[in-house]
Amino acid sequence: MLDLVTAKGLNVAAIREDFPILQQMVNGKPLVYLDSTATSQKPESVIEALDEYYRKYNANIHRGVYSLAEEATAKYEAARKKVQKYINAKSYREIIFTRNATESINLVAYAWGRQNIRAGDEIVTTLLEHHANIVPWQILAQEKDAKLKFIGVDEQGRLLDDEIENRITERTKLVAVTMMSNVTGTITPIKRIIDRAHAVGALCLVDAAQSVPHMPVDVQALNCDFLVFSGHKMLGPFVGVLYGKRALLEAMPPFLGGGDMIREVHQEYSKWNELPYKFEAGTPAIGEAIALGVAVDYLTALGMENVLAHDQELSAYALDKLGALDGLRIVGPQQATERGGIVAFDVPGVHPHDVAQILDREGICVRAGHHCAMPLHEHYGLAATTRASFYVYTVPEEIDKLVDMLDKARRIFNP
């Protein structure tokens, strides 16, 4: 792994060799994958870990006393401790494996929210949010006769300072906010928001689906109450994570009932298992969690400071190159230091779906649509945008190809 990092940062050429999918051709052209915000590609070590589980020690965990089951259990729990260390949680018991970040948010909305939100209470979120961090709170607010409020954004997709102060009030019981927008790439002032929430007695849930894969995240330093993210966006398989402060998780009822989340079951009542198992009903995604641990190893070896620096270098390059295209509208901060490796844009006169199809013919993968962020697009008067997103395996030459083909698409539709 040492050759993947140099004194100048990431050795991207060496990193790319670890990703089998990047070696292929698409539509007769070399694959240019610029959709890592939706899901990242996987290095060979992660693929091998998943394959090894199914080939060599496929067994259920926590129940069997035979060798395969004990090996699976040990590696599953080792992965949990890797995640704990990666985000600097106090205890492995604060790490809950879920299906994805969306399920993690819904777990909190159901298990914490339905116990603690009352009529007249307020939940605060922002216009930058993914639907997964809006809809569960809408449902909860409607059910409890509470109010959902939004912190607005400026023209560059930055949260409005005065609304951070004014929207979070004594009535606020929960603030649910992204650490990095999946559309604008905006890195939010998350510590300030958490501190403001705590100052009025509210809790704070952080949607870190875009930040945990791309920058250092320390939950103890942030002092957030809950934090969620997804393995598939950080070089791992499709498995989610919920971090919660232990005292909060202890007080919450189970989200799902079934096997492994119980200590005793009788005809009249049941007793719940200890953390984290109280929230992991049934057979979990065992191989996926183990492979997530390998992805954590990979990113840790790269150094998250290096990952963020690489992303922002690419963003600066993309902002410069895309900004040179006449009429193209870039959504989000114009300074790369204020954003991660995400650039969403609008090509006047060309629908984003048409842009994506033209790019696909050249082997270039981008995302077109509202990116599960319709309120933000409505705010900017856009039905949809085209989004290019970068990761540890992205090189500037791929951005050059993107820009060349965007120029071609613009000339095709606006001769």
Q: Alpha carbon of 276 to those of 97, 146, 188, 223: distances in Å? A: 8, 29, 29, 20
* Rg of the chain taking only CA atoms, in angstroms: 22
pLDDT under 50 in the chain at which residues? Answer: 1
Question: Beta partners for 45?
Answer: none
372 among known catalytic residues: yes
Cβ–Cβ under 8 Å, residues 259 and 240: no
Point out the catalytic residue in the list 204, 224, 365, 372: 372
pTM: 0.97
Beta strand 122-126 with 172-178 is parallel
At 369 the pLDDT is 96
- Dump pLDDT digits (tens) for 342-356: 999 999 889 999 999
Largest CA distance in the chain: 74
The CATH number given to 2-40+303-413 is 3.90.1150.10
Dist CA 195 CA 203 (whole Å): 10
Q: What are the residue ranges spanned by the domains of the chain?
A: 2-40+303-413, 48-300
Q: Which two tokens stand for residue 104?
A: 């993690």
**For the structural domain made of 48-300, what CATH number should be given?**
3.40.640.10
Per-residue confidence (pLDDT) for residue 409, from 0 to 100: 83
User: CA nearest 290: which of 59, 63, 18, 19?
Assistant: 59
Q: Give me the pLDDT at residue 2, please.
A: 52
Which residues, 6 or more positions from 162, have their beta carbon under 8 angstroms from its beta carbon? Answer: none
